[in-house]
Structure 1
């Protein structure tokens, strides 16, 4: 009887070995992306990689990689075909130019707006910040990383490089990922965000 009560208590409280492992991550962003990648309905990971997935490898959060940037909008910029890792192209335009200080230097990055997403529910104000830096191919994915942003009301925005993530094609070649334009290269090491994936 005592054994039966123990079993029932274990089932009721989910405290047995079947208990779900807490989602790994030091920040809300890290826990959110780890939860998505563990979820078979959302994950870009191959089945073999998701099976034993515990969490992505991140740089330790570093507040020096959270910067304020001025935004110079470019409303007359032309739409162009952004190349991807497949034959697909993406209709994009430069929404504006971000200027900011990082590691004692002034940097500029173009921030992009996708034509298709402008008419997609929930993504009407989505902006795309792809970038390359001197960690690519070593501690981070060779093709660069992305940061998701939204159209701001003001002419300043916060860029949090701790939220930089890899394109889906870093995990699975079936995806078609925009190729980071060369003009979005930062001549520094951005040791923040998601590291290279080791499958």
Structure 2
């Protein structure tokens, strides 16, 4: 029974940390297309190309630029045309462009995971009582494994969010089952201590 409990708690812990790992966002900067067609990289952490340093990495300070015939200045050039990430990383934040204007997506997906955990907590006990704790724990541990694997191969952000919700649901259903199974296997005098752990 102890091996089963250890086996089950590992994927549950992985699911919770998956939110942090899969949505890692490396440093990034804006790349702006100039009027002449070449690309200029503006790293707002440094004063690159004579630009002013700003606290907002998603925008470049607006400035005057020469037109193609070098005769006059144009004001209010579009600020950030594309985002370039530093380092050699791959994550959902990079794949689904979860920065700047889409920065709201990262907290949304974390919230969907937590909402899934809440709903799993509400219905998990009833599911365990109906079908048996051991079978529910094994099924939902497999569920966690499949959904964690599936989120690695998702092609769009909507499916990623849906899988994260169901991943949170399965996480708490299996955790509840394991906690109750562990609590039931110890002598009554140690149950309070076991449940505390």
Q: Under TM normalisation by the shorter chain, which class is it?
A: under 0.3
Q: What TM-score do you get using the length of structure 1 for normalisation? A: 0.22
Q: What TM-score do you get using the length of structure 2 for normalisation? A: 0.22
- Flag the structure with higher strand content: 1
- Flag the structure with higher helix content: 2
